[in-house]
Structure 1
Amino acid sequence: MTAIIDYQQAYEGEDVILADIPTSSELERWANVVLAYEGVSEQEITVRFTDEVESQALNFEYRGKEKPTNVLSFPFEAPPGIEMNLLGDLVICAPVISREAKEQQKAVVDHYAHMTVHGLLHLMGYDHIEDADAEEMESKEIEILAQLGIDDPYQ
């Protein structure tokens, strides 16, 4: 299972937040664990790190919510008859991740890993709208994060 990461670092804010943004290698490692867990072969994923302004604009445009959010997932849908190993795009808001990690008393890198795993599962078609779907998705997140040595984020 090989993840090909198209890394886009668009956040230009505070140095302390910039310092915590994961490297392409970290993202690749996390994505490879998700792909292996789901039995999915090589996939390309764009991961873009943004500020709150861009996150809020995208969240409003695509979800009708007027606030920045931790991660947005945009699955790729190939035209009929075209096969591509492009899973989709993740847009991760660095200041939101940093703030949430502090509020939840988690290591920032662990929260980035969790939100990356969460976003990748969304790209693979999982959601958490219905309670049963949320339980399934959270269970997968917990198992995948355990493989990465990260504690249950829902504790």
Structure 2
Amino acid sequence: MKAEILITDEVESGLAEELFRQAADAVFEELEIEFEECEVSLLICDDAQIKELNREYRQKDYATDVLSFPMTEDPYTEGGMLGDIVISLDTAKKQASEADIALEREISFLFIHGLLHLMGFDHELGQEEEEEMFTLQEEILLKLVKSGKVA
């Protein structure tokens, strides 16, 4: 079953829904999960809006690249609405430019990162968790790149 990605694009990014669907499929395939029903809400916004959300929900007064808001304690068994992901297009563009990579690749990376958070991964819990999460997101992105789904 493919994940339903509910996209609100506040900045008219022009990013294709298929980009996010393929990234979600790759995450669930890597985690060996098959949901009967699965939804993820995605907001694509600017730095001002993500800064406001970061300040309100994390008490951090700066723009960031991606935020995640899980909706379930046990996403592996519950499925349904997994949660919300917010990506700043402004920051993604800066990071893609600095890394000299395509914007779609950076956006895919951020979406994968956010989705892993929704699935219970948390790099802020310690070194071991950070290494596990970052290794996993790199592996998933690399598979998408090698398959030609992401530039």
Same fold (TM over 0.5): yes
CA distance in 2, matches of 1:52, 1:11: 11
Q: Structure 2 stretches of 5 or more lacking a match? A: 147-151
**Residue type at the aligned position of 1:35:** F
Q: Residues 31-79 of structure 1: CA distance to partner in whole angstroms, max 9, x if unpaired?
A: 111011112223210111011111001001111111111110000137x
Question: Which residue matches 1:108?
Answer: 103
In structure 2, which of residues 101, 120, 126 is the aligned counterpart of residue 125 of structure 1? 120
Q: Does 1:33 align with 2:26?
A: yes
Q: Does 1:144 align with 2:144?
A: no
- 4+ aligned runs moved over 4 Å, structure 1: none
Q: Is the alpha carbon distance of 1:113 and 1:84 closer, same or farther for their aligned partners in structure 2, counting shifts above 3 Å? A: closer
CA distance in 1, matches of 2:64, 2:130: 18
In structure 1, which of residues 64, 69, 72 is the aligned counterpart of residue 59 of structure 2? 64
Question: Which residue matches 2:47?
Answer: 52
Q: Give the deviation of 1:85 after TM superposition.
A: 1.0
Q: Is the alpha carbon distance of 1:52 and 1:29 closer, same or farther for their aligned partners in structure 2, counting shifts above 3 Å? A: same
Q: Give the deviation of 1:84 after TM superposition.
A: 5.3
- Give secondary structure in 1 for the equivalent of 2:72: coil
CA distance in 2, matches of 1:128, 1:36: 21
TM value normalised by structure 1: 0.84
What is the number of residues matched between the two proteins?
A: 139
CA distance in 1, matches of 2:16, 2:117: 21
**Residue type at the aligned position of 2:22:** R
CA distance in 2, matches of 1:128, 1:84: 22
Question: Which residue matches 1:153?
Answer: none
Q: Structure 1 stretches of 5 or more lacking a match? A: 13-17, 151-155
CA distance in 1, matches of 2:17, 2:63: 23
Q: Is the alpha carbon distance of 1:84 and 1:137 closer, same or farther for their aligned partners in structure 2, counting shifts above 3 Å? A: closer
Structure 1 window deviating more from structure 2 (34-43 vs 133-142): it is: 34-43
**Residue type at the aligned position of 1:114:** F
Q: Residues 78-113 of structure 1: CA distance to partner in whole angstroms, max 9, x if unpaired?
A: 7xxxx5511111011111100111112221111001
Q: Does 1:9 align with 2:9?
A: yes
TM value normalised by structure 2: 0.86
CA distance in 2, matches of 1:74, 1:100: 22
**Residue type at the aligned position of 1:92:** I
